[in-house]
């Protein structure tokens, strides 16, 4: 049997943003307009109108913004969310009978056809709408009906307009009926959801450091000594200070310096071997201080405009209280021992992974949520999650949704250097930001291909990158061999390609000695020993880091990600890219020499439209690093960059 009363005629498909047919939420930030689009069409040639309907957290009524036909049955528009949290949106479309009638009437009148019946049809159409508009607008509609039905009178010259047609095409009449449309046969898409985050979810400079290394070579640092480092970090322009685990560290199977299996009494162990007799995931390492000292650290950071990020690592030392209190949360081997962490051939005897297939799933999930809630209650709103891809996907979807429903300003950074689809799945499940493959993308073709994937595909609707230039685990060969120029190059790329980026302390001192040739591990890794630093040591790029962060904060174009455009440079060692501000308040063009050993010259072939430059018009480029200015004319321009002097131009385009 055919469906009854199916009079809408309209099909709505290819709605964007949309992730996996609405299974997951797309992401946006509250400071931006959310772009929305859909393919909308119907049988026959009638005119269509469409809107995006949306409502934010706690709202009971829908708000609307119009969608505009941009070609090939595609309608696009957007809305600007005013709050953070979960939004709902859908597309509604309807046939605009009045616009269709006006269009056809105009064509027939222009062709000098008899339009007597058409005028009566229009009069009846308008007449039927009188009671649907406000009382103050009804007189205009009645007058229009009367004019459409007025006698034509004696025919005048061929070029004299018919008064009835003029009345039909009156813009005031159109404005009323457009503002108060007839939607009785409207079609509405499915309802989709969108996560609206605060600005820090997209834009921020992160700095990772170990509080325990803020003492001396032999004296453990504390939160009080760590507080003294915060002004230095803030002065460099960072927004987030990320701390590795701050919990008690186990002694069983403790690793020694450089990850040796045999530890001495003086070895302090890895912070990721969480738990001892002093407590577990909600305890503070006694050598760092007390929970009150931690609160003081958070407060000191806030006064400097810094947010504190904590590492959330779901793993335990053999000495963790959970091991004896909840042995069912761990994998028991045939000999009665507990399975320790492995990444064959690597073994981590000092760490027990948690078993998410435990028979006590409810107890485990509740406990882990409680850990996060504990630190949230102490002012932490940002969490870097260690290896989330080795934990239950269902758990992440549940816990992030539960916590963000209560605290929508929370941010979760996924540290998952794993397969692309797994990384993307974690982002879909709710992670706010994600580590990426940026560290291993060093050639121009690698960077261009990877950034195009992240910015120009559907991935951009749910995946937010955080480009860490180095980590305690990753010292790339490029940094090992390239010296200070390499550190400058990678800093500019990380900070300007991605709205969120980070460095691990020591980067500004150009620390680049690996554990051994071919290794990405640091020699004398801070993961296993105290590593106090002399921050005035040479060489360093402290001023350079400060300069780049200052540029980021002063130029709104750099807060965006999908506004990235690559420009052609005729040398493989030179990469050029730009970002334009959505508000039209400036475009940034970066040109970087990727060769840290030798100067490179190239001719740029610029996309002038992307730069906001009119063809044939000269334009000025101001180098924000060197504070120099050049006048360019046309798309082809010459650059020469010596990495020993300055490996990058960061130009502000002035037209």
The mean pLDDT value for 99-103 works out to 95
Q: Are 246 and 288 in contact, with CB atoms under 8 Å apart? A: yes
The mean pLDDT value for 126-144 works out to 95
- Report the interhelical angle of 444-456 vs 477-497 (nearest 10°): 40
* The pLDDT of residue 379: 98
Alpha carbon distance 273, 267 (integer Å): 13
Sorted by sequence, the CB contacts under 8 Å of residue 17 that are 6+ apart come out as 26, 28, 34, 35, 36, 192, 194, 461
Sorted by sequence, the CB contacts under 8 Å of residue 215 that are 6+ apart come out as 221, 222, 225, 530, 532
- Is residue 609 pLDDT above 80, yes or no? yes
Instruction: Copy the structure tokens of residue 306.
Output: 């810094």
Q: What percent of the chain is predicted at pLDDT more than 90?
A: 93
- Report the interhelical angle of 171-179 vs 135-149 (nearest 10°): 130
* The pLDDT of residue 52: 98
- Is residue 153 pLDDT above 80, yes or no? no
Considering the candidates 197, 311, 367, 415, report the single residue annotated as catalytic.
Answer: 415
Please name the helix (run of DSSP H) or strand (run of DSSP E) that holds residue 106, with its range, or none: helix 97-110
The mean pLDDT value for 135-162 works out to 82
Q: What is the DSSP string of 300-361?
A: HHHHTT-EEEEEE--EE-TTSHHHHH-GGGSPBPTTSPBPPEEETTEEETT-EE--TT-TTH
The mean pLDDT value for 82-110 works out to 95
3-state secondary structure of 114: coil
Sign of the C-alpha dihedral computed for residues 445, 446, 447 and 453 taken in this order? positive
Alpha carbon distance 307, 367 (integer Å): 25
Beta pairing, strands 564-569 & 600-605 = antiparallel
Alpha carbon distance 271, 212 (integer Å): 10
* The pLDDT of residue 227: 98
* The pLDDT of residue 151: 85
Sorted by sequence, the CB contacts under 8 Å of residue 612 that are 6+ apart come out as 580, 584, 587, 653, 655
* Percent helix, percent strand, percent coil in the chain, to nearest 5: 30, 25, 40
Return the closest-CA partner of residue 149 out of 110, 115, 108: 115
- Is residue 433 pLDDT above 60, yes or no? yes
3-state secondary structure of 111: coil
- Is residue 156 pLDDT above 90, yes or no? no
* The pLDDT of residue 585: 75
For 204-243+373-553, CATH gives 3.20.20.80
* The pLDDT of residue 152: 73
* The pLDDT of residue 654: 86
Residue-wise pLDDT tens digits, 374-409: 999 999 999 999 999 999 999 999 999 999 999 999
* The pLDDT of residue 265: 92
The mean pLDDT value for 624-641 works out to 96
The mean pLDDT value for 288-293 works out to 98
- Is residue 62 pLDDT above 70, yes or no? yes
The mean pLDDT value for 252-260 works out to 94
Q: How far is CA 30 from CA 33, 197, 407, in A?
A: 8, 6, 15
3-state secondary structure of 296: helix
122 phi, psi to nearest 5 deg: -65, -40
Instruction: Copy the structure tokens of residue 137.
Output: 């607008």
Residue-wise pLDDT tens digits, 292-342: 999 999 999 999 999 999 999 999 999 999 999 999 999 999 998 999 998
Alpha carbon distance 615, 638 (integer Å): 17
Q: Tell me the sheet residues that pair with 197.
A: 29
- Is residue 199 pLDDT above 80, yes or no? yes
The mean pLDDT value for 455-476 works out to 97
Going by pLDDT thresholds of 50, 70 and 90, the confidence category of residue 31 is confident
- Is residue 554 pLDDT above 90, yes or no? yes
3-state secondary structure of 223: helix
CA angle centred on 624, ends 622 and 627, rounded to 5°: 70
* The pLDDT of residue 5: 53
The mean pLDDT value for 544-557 works out to 97
- Is residue 159 pLDDT above 70, yes or no? no
3-state secondary structure of 125: helix
415 catalytic? Reply is: yes
Q: What is the 3-state secondary structure (H, E, C) of 187-205?
A: EECCCEEEEEECHHHCCEE
Sorted by sequence, the CB contacts under 8 Å of residue 127 that are 6+ apart come out as 141, 145
3-state secondary structure of 237: coil
The mean pLDDT value for 549-562 works out to 97
Q: Tell me the sheet residues that pair with 71.
A: 74
The mean pLDDT value for 568-576 works out to 98
Considering the candidates 97, 197, 319, 386, report the single residue annotated as catalytic.
Answer: 386
Instruction: Copy the structure tokens of residue 98.
Output: 């009045």
CATH number of 564-654, picked from 3.40.50.1370, 3.90.550.10, 2.60.40.1180, 3.90.850.10: 2.60.40.1180
* The pLDDT of residue 582: 79
* The pLDDT of residue 1: 56
The mean pLDDT value for 88-93 works out to 98
* The pLDDT of residue 212: 98
For tokens 């962490």, what's the residue? Answer: 341
For 98-179, CATH gives 1.20.58.80
Domain definitions of the chain by residue range: 10-96+186-196, 98-179, 204-243+373-553, 564-654
Identical fold between 98-179 and 564-654: no
Length of the chain: 655
Q: Are 564 and 579 in contact, with CB atoms under 8 Å apart? A: yes
For 10-96+186-196, CATH gives 2.60.40.10
- Is residue 514 pLDDT above 60, yes or no? yes
Alpha carbon distance 37, 68 (integer Å): 9
- Is residue 205 pLDDT above 70, yes or no? yes
| Bond from prior residue into 539 cis (ω within 30 degrees of 0) | yes
Q: What is the DSSP string of 435-493?
A: --SGGG--SHHHHHHHHHHHHHSGGGGT--B-EES-BTTB--HHHHHHHHHHHHHHHHH
For tokens 């002694």, what's the residue? Answer: 251
* The pLDDT of residue 244: 98
* The pLDDT of residue 6: 58
Q: How far is CA 31 from CA 24, 80, 153, 495, 500, in A?
A: 22, 8, 59, 20, 16
3-state secondary structure of 588: strand
Alpha carbon distance 284, 291 (integer Å): 6
537 phi, psi to nearest 5 deg: -60, 145
* The pLDDT of residue 3: 55
> What is the rounded average pLDDT for all residues in the chain?
95
Q: What percent of the chain is predicted at pLDDT more than 70?
A: 98
Q: Quick one: residue 483, left, alpha or beta (phi over 0 = left, psi -120 to 50 = alpha)?
A: left
For tokens 């407590």, what's the residue? Answer: 279
Look at the pTM and tell me if it is higher than 0.85: yes
């Amino acid at each position: 049997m055919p469906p009854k009363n199916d009079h809408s005629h309209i099909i709505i498909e290819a709605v964007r943003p949309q992730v996996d047919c609405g299974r997951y939420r797309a992401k946006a930030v509250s400071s931006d307009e959310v772009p929305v689009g859909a393919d909308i069409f119907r049988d026959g040639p009638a005119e269509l109108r469409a809107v995006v309907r949306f409502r934010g957290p706690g709202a009971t009524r829908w708000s609307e913004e119009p969608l505009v036909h941009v070609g090939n049955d595609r309608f696009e528009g957007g809305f600007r969310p005013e709050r953070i949290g979960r939004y709902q949106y859908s597309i509604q479309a309807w046939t605009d009978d009045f616009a269709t009638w006006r269009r056809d009437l105009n064509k027939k009148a222009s062709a000098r056809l008899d339009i007597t019946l058409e005028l009566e049809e229009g009069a009846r159409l308008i007449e039927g709408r009188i009671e649907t508009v406000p009382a103050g607008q009804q007189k205009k509609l009645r007058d229009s009906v009367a004019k459409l039905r007025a006698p034509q009178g004696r025919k005048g010259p061929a070029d004299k307009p018919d008064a009835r047609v003029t009345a039909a095409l009156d813009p005031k009449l159109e404005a009323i009926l457009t503002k108060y449309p007839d939607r009785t046969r409207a079609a509405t898409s499915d309802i989709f959801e969108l996560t609206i985050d605060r600005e820090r979810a997209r834009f921020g400079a992160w700095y990772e450091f170990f509080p325990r290394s803020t003492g001396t070579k032999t004296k453990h640092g504390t939160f009080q000594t760590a507080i003294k480092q915060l002004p230095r970090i803030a002065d460099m322009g960072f927004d987030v200070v990320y701390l590795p685990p701050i919990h008690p560290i186990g002694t069983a199977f403790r690793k020694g310096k450089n990850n040796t299996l045999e530890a001495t009494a003086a070895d302090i162990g890895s912070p990721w071997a969480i738990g001892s007799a002093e407590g577990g995931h909600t305890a503070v390492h006694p050598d760092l201080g007390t929970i009150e000292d931690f609160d003081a650290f958070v407060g000191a950071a806030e006064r400097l405009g810094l947010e504190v990020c904590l590492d959330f690592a779901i793993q335990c030392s053999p000495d963790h209280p959970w091991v004896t209190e909840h042995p069912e949360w761990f994998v028991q081997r045939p000999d009665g021992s507990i399975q320790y962490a492995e990444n064959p051939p690597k073994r981590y005897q000092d760490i027990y992974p948690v078993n998410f297939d435990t028979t006590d799933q409810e107890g485990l999930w509740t406990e882990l949520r409680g850990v996060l809630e504990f630190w949230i209650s102490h002012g932490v709103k940002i969490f870097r999650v260690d290896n989330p891809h080795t934990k239950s996907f269902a758990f992440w979807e549940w816990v992030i949704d539960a916590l963000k429903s209560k605290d929508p300003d929370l941010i979760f950074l996924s540290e998952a250097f794993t397969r692309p689809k797994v990384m993307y799945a974690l982002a879909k499940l709710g992670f706010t930001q994600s580590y990426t493959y940026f560290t291993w993308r060093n050639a121009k073709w690698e960077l261009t291909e990877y950034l195009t994937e992240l910015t120009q595909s559907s991935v951009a609707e749910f995946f937010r990158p955080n480009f860490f230039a180095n980590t305690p685990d990753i010292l790339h060969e490029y940094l090992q061999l390239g010296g200070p120029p390499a550190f400058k190059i990678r800093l500019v790329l990380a900070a300007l390609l991605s709205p969120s980026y980070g460095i691990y302390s020591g980067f500004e001192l150009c620390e680049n000695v690996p554990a051994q040739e071919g290794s990405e591990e640091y020699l004398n890794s801070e993961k296993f020993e105290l590593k106090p630093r002399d921050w005035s040591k040479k060489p360093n790029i402290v001023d350079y880091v400060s300069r780049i962060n200052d540029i980021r904060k002063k130029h709104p174009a750099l807060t965006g990600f999908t506004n990235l455009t690559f420009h052609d440079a005729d040398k493989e060692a030179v990469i050029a890219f730009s970002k334009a501000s959505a508000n039209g308040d400036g475009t940034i063009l970066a040109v970087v020499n990727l060769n840290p050993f030798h100067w490179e010259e190239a001719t740029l072939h610029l996309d002038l439209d992307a730069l906001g430059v009119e063809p044939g018009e000269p334009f000025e480029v101001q180098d924000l690093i060197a504070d120099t200015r050049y006048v360019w004319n046309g798309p082809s321009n010459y650059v020469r960059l010596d990495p020993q002097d300055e490996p990058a131009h960061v130009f502000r385009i002035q037209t």
